[in-house]
Structure 1
Amino acid sequence: MKLFLIAGEASGDKLGAALMAGLKSLAPGVSFAGVGGPLMAAEGLESLFPMEELSVMGLVEVLPKYRALKRRIAETAEAVAGFAPDALITIDSPDFCLRVARAARAARPELRTIHYVAPSVWAWRPGRAAKMAEVIDHVLALLPFEPPYMEAAGMSCDFVGHPVVAEPRASRAEAAAFRETHMIGPEQPLVLCLPGSRRGEVARLGPRFDEALIRLRDREPGLRVVLPTVRGVAPLVREMTARWPVAPIVVEETADKRAAFAAADLALAASGTVSLELAANRTPMVIAYDANFLTWHIASRMVKIDTVTLVNLVSETRAVPEFLGPRCRPGLIATALFELLENAGARGAQAAAMEVTMARLGEGGEAPGLRAARSVLAKLG
């Protein structure tokens, strides 16, 4: 069996690697080609080009790179045709992946296509599902309420669980060791600062998060901050935070990041799947996000829901406070962080919402990568 996989960012690389591992265990001899990052490379994928070229987000942000992305779409579709896979599996990054699927299908109409991560049509642009159904046969969904939306558009869909439930977490001993290593006392508040995994997000949100943490430290003088980052933006993060009055501990190694998540008392994070990583570690959080003015202006008119935080959506609560767009202001954020730090009731409400969220995402069951592999093999017969 031959499969062509495409992932365009770090989260997709994780999904792809777990899926590849599951497929190898269930279908020995399977071979892969495509585009991916270091985790997929470790499972045997030789990427057609560096995955980081595709990690662009936002309507305005994409425009300067449009021609280069268009060339990569054509190159990738040509590679699919040359590899002649049993299926093309696209992983998230729909703006790139679905264009490749359309071009590959035009060259090979019989090509079977699977997309991993359902588009959030329950949040905005519901017409995306019908458009996706023109080029996708089957969808692997991360959230339990998504299959009906995909099936209504004409695709088959399986809920396979969210990968966050299978990710390793640091033990209490590792969390205590992290605090000891960085000389953080047991009574000192430790805050995770998570301004995103893309350069544009970090550059836009970083200064606001810094200002919010300065204000929080005025109320909590012993405050310490840790900022986990990823390979693609680590140099930018280190350069930017060197000028911050509240100098964070910047960690890049996976084990250090796990320990930081377990050791933290609360977190300030950009919206996205990181809220589920925090929920898996039962870390109370405040969510904040803003985008380029034009991108935000257009997107905010399309959104159909009153919260973008996945913990709130999956648990059907509004336990996690969020500050989006014009409300992404340091003063508001700092007040919410302080209230969360001081209010046991607010932390308890978040803890309950996190328990519900993780149970609904498949915590304690079969690993999502293996469930996704079973779904792929069942679809291919």
Structure 2
Amino acid sequence: MKYYLIVGEASGDLHAAHLMASLKRNDHEAEFRFFGGDLMTAVGGTRVKHYRELAYMGFVPVLLHLRTIFRNMSRCKKDIVAWHPDVVILVDYPGFNLNIARFLKQKTDIPAFYYISPKIWAWKEWRIKAIRRDIKELFSILPFEVPFYEEKHHYKIHYVGNPTAHEVHSFLKAHYEDFKTFCERHQMADDKPFIALLPGSRKQEIKDNLPAMIAASARYADRFRLVLACAPAIEDAFYQEIMERTGPAKSIVSLVKDDTYALLFHATAALVTSGTATLETALLHVPQVVCYKTPVPRLIRWAFNHVLSCRYISLVNLIADRDVVAELFADRFTTDNIATELARLLPGGTGREAMLKAYQEVEERLGNEVAPDNAARLMVNLLRQEADCCP
């Protein structure tokens, strides 16, 4: 069968690549065409566009690139129609992907499967109408989404397990590199333990979050080396430019690219933006502070308390359904607050052991299912059943 996949960022590229590999094991005649990244390309198939050409975040960047976004959307729709796959698999990235799903429903007979659900439980809950109308099957990777969709909105979904949990467990099972070897490989001295900095995968996130992360963690630079996890799609020069404007950053921050799991494995604590990285950090047993700068912080805080329908922004707290990690966003995002919370998580700090213990609860809630294998098996079976019913 022919599978067309669409992702919009680095984490989607990773999850989609694993899904493609599982699809190949379940369908030996699988063909792929996609908007994706290097990891998907390595699995095989034809890449139409790299996700770097799609990923715009925030009102102003989106506004400035509207013509490019619409051009990419039009290209995607035409390419799908021309290739006519058996299914289009949408991976997160709802602003783009829900538009594609609507097009598929209105203009074609091609079904849309959604892998990694849009986070409508956090905001834009009204999108459930579009999902119910346009998405043939939805495959969830977060356990709390099942009651949200099925009990609250009466929309049946498939919980397939969490791919991040599987990816981290696979890494831990295979990893054997010691601290000294890691430092040598990345050309760093091994004289200090690490504080890991994970400021996001998009340029706007990095520009917003990294300066405060560096300023806060620099207070502990006499005891810890600050190590920045670089996103695979972002050039080193972009990070260097930000660090040039951040005081002593260039002399105290080391850069590590395409090796985030290994960095976290060796880290003592971490400063992390919201998103999949918070869950990865928890599953790698690293105490963390979640930091996320927003525009008009007081207004965002008001909206979070009165408009948004979720209590947390980090996956760790959402899965645990309680406060496990500190979430410093909007009006709570300050250098002093970040530094204070970080101190609580360093060895001897008052919050370190409690957080590590709470991580075990998060792991238990995620379960041990292999998400891409489960999703691929379900997808192939559903498509074959459909083909048998409607030859």
Question: TM-score scaled by structure 1?
Answer: 0.90
The 3-state SS of whatever aligns with 1:231 is: coil
**Which residue of 305, 313, 318 corresponds with 2:310?**
305
Post-superposition shift, 1:125?
Answer: 2.5
Amino acid at match of 2:129: A
Taking the aligned partners of 1:142 and 1:177, their CA distance within structure 2 comes to 34
Amino acid at match of 2:107: A
Aligned residue number for residue 236 of structure 1: 238
Post-superposition shift, 1:88?
Answer: 1.1
Aligned residue number for residue 275 of structure 2: 272
Aligned residue number for residue 2 of structure 2: 2
Taking the aligned partners of 2:111 and 2:302, their CA distance within structure 1 comes to 34
Taking the aligned partners of 1:293 and 1:233, their CA distance within structure 2 comes to 26
Work out whether residues 91 and 117 of structure 2, in 8 Å CA contact, stay in contact via their aligned partners in 1: no
Instruction: Report Cα offsets for 1:215-241 as digits up to 9, x if no partner.
Output: 344xxx222111111232233113323
Taking the aligned partners of 1:154 and 1:41, their CA distance within structure 2 comes to 37
Taking the aligned partners of 1:378 and 1:144, their CA distance within structure 2 comes to 22
Taking the aligned partners of 1:331 and 1:264, their CA distance within structure 2 comes to 22
Post-superposition shift, 1:20?
Answer: 0.5
Post-superposition shift, 1:306?
Answer: 2.8
Alignment of structure 1 residues 136-215 onto 2, 5 Å: 136-151=135-150, 153=153, 155-167=155-167, 168-169=171-172, 171=175, 173-179=177-183, 182-185=188-191, 188-215=192-219
Taking the aligned partners of 2:85 and 2:349, their CA distance within structure 1 comes to 54
Taking the aligned partners of 1:153 and 1:116, their CA distance within structure 2 comes to 18
The 3-state SS of whatever aligns with 2:134 is: coil
Work out whether residues 93 and 118 of structure 2, in 8 Å CA contact, stay in contact via their aligned partners in 1: no
Instruction: Report Cα offsets for 1:180-200 as digits up to 9, x if no partner.
Output: 662233xx4420011111100
| Identity within the alignment, % | 31
Instruction: Report Cα offsets for 1:330-355 as digits up to 9, x if no partner.
Output: 01110110122154552222112211
Alignment of structure 1 residues 267-346 onto 2, 5 Å: 267-293=270-296, 296=300, 300=304, 302-343=307-348, 345-346=350-351
Alignment of structure 1 residues 97-116 onto 2, 5 Å: 97-108=97-108, 110-116=109-115
Post-superposition shift, 1:369?
Answer: 1.1
Work out whether residues 269 and 346 of structure 2, in 8 Å CA contact, stay in contact via their aligned partners in 1: yes
Question: Is there any run of 5+ residues in structure 1 with no aligned partner, and where?
Answer: none
The 3-state SS of whatever aligns with 2:178 is: helix
Post-superposition shift, 1:375?
Answer: 2.1
2:54 aligned with 1:50, yes or no? Answer: no
**Equivalent pairs, count:** 371
Evaluate the alpha carbon distance shift between residue 176 and residue 353 of structure 1 in structure 2; reply closer, same or farther with a 3 A threshold. Answer: farther
Post-superposition shift, 1:149?
Answer: 2.8
Deviates most, 59-68 or 279-288: 59-68
The 3-state SS of whatever aligns with 1:88 is: strand
Deviates most, 366-375 or 327-336: 366-375
Post-superposition shift, 1:321?
Answer: 1.0
Deviates most, 176-185 or 27-36: 176-185
Deviates most, 317-326 or 15-24: 317-326
Amino acid at match of 2:342: L
The 3-state SS of whatever aligns with 1:183 is: coil
Taking the aligned partners of 1:103 and 1:142, their CA distance within structure 2 comes to 25
Evaluate the alpha carbon distance shift between residue 330 and residue 61 of structure 1 in structure 2; reply closer, same or farther with a 3 A threshold. Answer: same
Question: TM-score scaled by structure 2?
Answer: 0.88
Taking the aligned partners of 2:291 and 2:197, their CA distance within structure 1 comes to 11
Amino acid at match of 1:86: D
Deviates most, 298-307 or 203-212: 298-307
Aligned residue number for residue 224 of structure 1: 225
Question: Is there any run of 5+ residues in structure 2 with no aligned partner, and where?
Answer: 386-391
Taking the aligned partners of 1:155 and 1:112, their CA distance within structure 2 comes to 17
